[in-house]
């Protein structure tokens, strides 16, 4: 009973906290996008990444949370197909967007003499066709789910957490879909790894330059592009951890017969981990949380400094 309560709290926290975090990130970058004179491609990519994370949490995290509270079979056939298909497509788009984010950030901080500089997007609107390609690609890869998902609870079907069920697929379909998913993940994670290694090299050179200037008693400020690159690297480490931990636990579950262990719950937690905790990196980078706390603290101090007469007058004015 206690473990069930803990599971309910954890999944409810992940669904609510992750959704609110991604919404705050998207609203923050949308506002800076509208106010700023320059439309930065990185901001558009981060908005798109937050949007896909919201879809993952709503299509996958929210139904899992409802199941932990005892609700089962609350979706019909069409609802099951839409929810499971949308969560699978959004997960693939999130992987592609994370790889694109790393590559674009590496291009932005590359030296002007580097050949990578030629690939820098001239405008943020040049990124939009790439987003369309990501959605079309992952929609085609996950097309088999439309035929293999049902809401019927039949014994020979494999349960999808108690609200939808997988029908058995033919071996031909598996050998078409599985290699495409593996190829997609391998390509974008390879690009992510190369771009991350390149950024680490550039940041190391910058660190050596800063040490030289400090020894020379010269003042030097880290450019915002390099600070952004550090945040992107932390974000990619977060992605790599949750992705490979999810793969390892899923492989263990496929080879194990221990259905009643804690491992299925761990796998569900890892599947939602990146979408839930990735906003923390960006919130810390932009200082959104300290800024909100500062505004709240100033408001409280201003309210507490009011005299009794001023408070009564304020209440009268209301």
For 149-171, write each residue's pLDDT tens digit: 776 665 556 665 667 777 766 77
**What is the crossing angle of helices 128-141 and 171-215, to 10°?**
150
CA distances from 92 to 97, 99, 125 (A): 9, 11, 22
Determine the pLDDT at residue 264: 80
What is the mean predicted confidence (pLDDT) over 91-101? 94
Q: Which of the pair, 105 or 226, is modelled with greater confidence?
A: 105
For residues 153 and 268, give the distance between their C-alpha atoms in angstroms, rounded to a whole number: 21
pLDDT greater than 50 at residue 306:
no
176 bridge partner residues:
none
CATH number of this structure's domain 2-286: 1.20.1070.10
On average, the pLDDT of the chain sits at 77
pTM for this prediction: 0.82
Q: Could you give the CA distance from residue 136 to residue 258 in angstroms, rounded to a whole number?
A: 37
Residue 162 is classified by DSSP as T
Question: What number is the average pLDDT over the span 259-271?
Answer: 78
182-230 pLDDT, tens digit per residue, is: 999 999 999 999 998 888 888 877 666 666 555 555 545 556 666 777 7
- Whether the pLDDT of residue 130 is over 80: the answer is yes
pLDDT confidence band for 92 (50 / 70 / 90): very high
The lowest-confidence range among 25-29, 68-72, 143-147, 180-184 is: 68-72
- Could you tell me which residue, 223 or 304, shows the higher pLDDT? 223
Model confidence at 121, pLDDT cuts 50, 70, 90, reads confident
Q: Spell out the domain ranges in the chain.
A: 2-286, 289-318
């Amino acid at each position: 009973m206690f473990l069930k309560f803990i599971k309910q709290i954890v999944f409810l926290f992940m669904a609510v906290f992750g959704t609110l975090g991604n919404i705050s990130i998207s609203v923050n970058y949308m506002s800076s996008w509208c106010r700023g004179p320059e439309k930065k491609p990185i901001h558009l990519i981060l908005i798109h990444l937050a949007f896909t994370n919201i879809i993952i949490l709503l299509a996958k995290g929210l139904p899992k949370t409802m199941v932990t509270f005892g609700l089962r079979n609350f979706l019909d056939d069409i609802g099951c197909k839409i929810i499971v298909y949308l969560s699978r497509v959004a997960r693939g788009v999130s992987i592609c967007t994370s790889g694109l984010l790393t590559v674009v950030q590496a291009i932005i901080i590359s030296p002007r003499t580097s050949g990578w500089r030629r690939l820098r997007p001239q405008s943020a609107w040049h990124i939009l066709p790439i987003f369309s390609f990501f959605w079309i690609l992952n929609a085609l890869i996950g097309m088999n789910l439309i035929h293999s998902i049902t809401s019927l609870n039949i014994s020979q079907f494999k349960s999808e957490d108690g609200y939808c069920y997988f029908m058995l697929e033919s071996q031909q379909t598996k050998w078409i879909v599985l290699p495409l998913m593996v190829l997609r993940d391998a390509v974008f994670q390879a690009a992510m790894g190369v771009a991350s290694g390149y950024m680490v090299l550039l940041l190391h050179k910058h660190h050596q330059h800063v040490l030289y200037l400090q020894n020379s008693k010269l003042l030097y400020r880290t450019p915002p592009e390099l600070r952004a690159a550090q945040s992107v690297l932390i974000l990619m480490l977060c992605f790599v951890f949750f992705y490979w931990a999810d793969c390892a636990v899923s492989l263990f579950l496929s080879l194990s017969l221990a259905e009643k262990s804690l491992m299925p719950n761990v796998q569900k937690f890892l599947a939602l981990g990146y979408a839930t905790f990735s906003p923390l990196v960006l919130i810390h980078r932009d200082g959104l949380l300290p800024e909100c706390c500062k505004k709240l603290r100033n408001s409280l101090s201003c309210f507490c400094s009011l005299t009794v007469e001023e408070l009564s007058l304020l209440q009268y004015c209301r």
